[in-house]
Amino acid sequence: MGRDVSQGAFTREDRVRYRHKVRRCLDVFALMLDDFGFDADRPMTGLEIELNLVDSAAEPAMRNEEILADIADPLFQTELGQFNLELNAEPRLIEGAGFAHYEHDLRSSLARADERAAKSDAKIVLVGILPTLTEGHLVEDNLSTNERYRVLNDQIVGARGEDIELDIRGVEQLRTHTDSIAPEAACTSLQFHLQVAPDSFADYWNASQAIAGVQVAVGANSPFLYGRQLWAETRIALFEQATDTRPDELKAQGVRPRVWFGERWITSIFDLFEENVRYFPPLLPICEDEDPVEVLHTGGVPQLGELRLHNGTVYRWNRPVYDIMNGRPHLRVENRVLPAGPTVVDMLANAAFYFGLARGLAEADRPIWSQLTFSSAEENFHAAARRGLDAVLHWPQVGDVPVSKLVLDELLPTAAAGLDGFGVAPAQRDRLLGIIEQRCRTGRNGAVWQTEAVWAAERHRGMDRAAALHHMVQRYAELQRANEPVHTWPIP
C-alpha cells in the first residue's frame, strides 16, 4: 500500500460506498481483460529493497525521516518503521547487460544513501530481520510518521479486536504479544516485479507459487528475532502473524488470513482480484472520484483506484498488480517471498534465479502446476522457511529431495534456459546463477552465515547472545559493503 492516506475514521456509509465501487472496478477490469490493449511487448522488470538503519553500536536508528530528507531522491521512500527505508530501482529490461546496470545503479544509490545516513550517525544494513531488534523497539511510537501507517495499524488492530499474538517455534521459541502492527516493520524484504501479458499471467503466477519454497530456502536471511534463533527465514512467520486480523475463533472457522499463500492454481489474473474482493473486507474504504465505467466507455484507461488499494491490503506472497505507465495499462507478478541482503550481488543472483526459473517453468511444455499439488507447494514454502538450505522439498518426478540437490540437478538448468529466453548476456547469466550454485554446494546462505557467526562469538569469544548479535551485525555490515557473495564470507 504505497499511497498516502489521511482519513482515520471510516463510517458505515464509507464502507458501503467502497464495496460498491470496488465491485464496479472489478467488473471493468474483467471487460478490460477481454479486449483492452495491455502493454506487454517487451516485459520490464523491477526491484524493491527494504532497508534497515543502524547506529554505530548496531542498534536500530529511528531516523528515517531526517535521512530521507537528506537523501532527497524519489527512488527512496519511507517504510513502516522509523528504522526502515525502501529503495525502488528504476524498471528495466534484463536482456543483454540489464543485470549489470541494476548492480551499478543499486550500488551507487546505496552508497549515496549511506553517505547521507552517516550525517545522522547511521548506516544501512540489508538483512531480512535486523538481529538486534528487541520488543522495546517494535512499538507503535516507532512507526513512521506518515499517516497511512497509523491508519493501517488502527484498522488491522481494530479488525482483530485484541492483541496480536506472536508464536514462532524453531531452533528456539518465541511467544509474545503486541498491541500494534509494529513488529511487521522487522520484516525487510526484497521484491521482484515481472511484467507479463494477460494471457500468460496465470502461467507465471502459478510458476512463481510453485518455486516460492525453493527461493526461500536458497535466499533465507532472517534467523533471529528478539534475540532468539527461530526459522531460517523467520520473516515469513512474523509477517503472517503480525498482520493477522483474525481472532482465534475466525481462524477456527477457516477465514482466510490477509497474509496469504493462496489455495489453488489459477487460470486468469481475474481469479486473484476476484478472490480478494470476495474473501477480504476492506481495511481502507477510501473512494476516488473516477467512474471507471465512464472512463472505459470514453476510450480512456481506468485507474481502478479502489481495486488497486484493496489489492494492496491483501498480502499475497505473489501479488497480482495492475498499473499504468505512460498512459498504457500493464500487469505484473510481484514476487514478495525473499528477504533483503546480504549484498547487492546476492540479491541480483536471487533475481536472476527467480526471473529465469519463472520463465522456464511458465513456458514448459508440461506445466509444473499440472504435476505438483497446490498444498505441496505451500508445504514446501513453509518447510523452506523453517529449515532453509537444510529443507527437504517435494518435487514432481523426484519425490522428496534435499533442496540443494533439487536446485543443482533440476532447477539451475531451467533458470539458465529462462534467462536465455529473456536475452540475458551469457556472462551475466553464468555469474549470477553461479552464486546460487555455490550457495547450494557450500551449504551457506545469509541465514547460515548469521547463525555460524553468532555461535562462534558465543563459544569462542565468550559473549552472551545480545553481545554476539551486535558483534555479528557490525561484521555483517562491513562485509556487505565489499559486495562479495555471502557464501564466501569468513566467520568472524
CA angle 180, 181, 182 (to 5 degrees): 90
pLDDT at 451 over 60: yes
Query: How far apart are the two ends of the chain, measured CA to CA in Å?
Result: 39
Quick one: cell of 430? 553464468
Quick one: cell of 473? 551485525
What one-letter code names the amino acid at 108? Answer: S
pLDDT at 3 over 70: no
Tell me which residue of 191, 149, 143, 182 sits closest to 283, measured CA to CA. 149
Residue 19's SS3 state is helix
pLDDT at 5 over 60: no
DSSP secondary structure code for residue 244 in this structure:
-
Residue 123's SS3 state is strand
Mean pLDDT of the chain: 95
pLDDT of res. 480: 98
Q: Quick one: average pLDDT of 96-103? A: 98
pLDDT at 7 over 80: no
Q: Quickly list DSSP for 383-423.
A: HHHHHGGG-EEEETTTEEEEHHHHIIIIIHHHHHHHHHHHT
pLDDT of res. 25: 97
Residue 337's SS3 state is strand
pLDDT at 2 over 50: no
pLDDT of res. 8: 55
User: Please, are residues 232 and 215 in contact by the beta-carbon 8 Å criterion?
Assistant: no
State which H helix or E strand residue 54 sits in.
strand 45-54
Tell me the pTM: 0.96
Please give the Cα distance from 130 to 60 (Å, whole number): 8
Percent share of the chain, pLDDT over 70: 98
Residue 61's SS3 state is coil
Q: Which residues contact 122 (CB under 8 A, 6 or more apart)?
A: 53, 54, 55, 61, 63, 67
Q: Quick one: average pLDDT of 323-346? A: 96
State which H helix or E strand residue 457 sits in.
helix 446-460
Q: Quick one: average pLDDT of 402-416? A: 98
392 DSSP β-pair partners: 402
DSSP secondary structure code for residue 230 in this structure:
-
pLDDT of res. 111: 97
Q: What is the dihedral of CA 318, 215, 221, 140, to 10 degrees?
A: 10
pLDDT band at 71 (very low <50, low <70, confident <90, very high): very high
For residue 327, count other CB atoms closer than 10 A to its CB.
8
pLDDT of res. 199: 95
Supply the Cα-derived Rg of the chain in whole angstroms.
22
Q: Give the torsion sign (CA, 150, 154, 156, 157).
A: positive
Express each pLDDT in 201-217 by its tens digit.
Answer: 999 999 999 999 999 99
Q: How many helices (H) and strands (E) does the chain have?
A: 17, 15
Percent share of the chain, pLDDT over 90: 90
Q: Quick one: average pLDDT of 96-121? A: 97
- Alpha-carbon separation of residue 324 from 39, 148, 167 (angstroms): 9, 22, 40
| Residue for grid cell 524519489 | 74
pLDDT of res. 148: 84
Please give the Cα distance from 108 to 99 (Å, whole number): 14
For residue 248, count other CB atoms closer than 10 A to its CB.
9
pLDDT band at 491 (very low <50, low <70, confident <90, very high): confident
pLDDT of res. 1: 42
Express each pLDDT in 125-143 by its tens digit.
Answer: 999 999 999 999 999 999 9
Find the range with the poorest average confidence among 38-42, 92-96, 486-490: 38-42
Q: Quick one: average pLDDT of 69-84? A: 95
Spacing of C-alpha 422 from chain mean position: 23
Quick one: cell of 29? 477490469
Find the range with the poorest average confidence among 188-192, 242-246, 267-271: 242-246
User: Please, are residues 486 and 449 in contact by the beta-carbon 8 Å criterion?
Assistant: yes
Please give the Cα distance from 205 to 193 (Å, whole number): 11
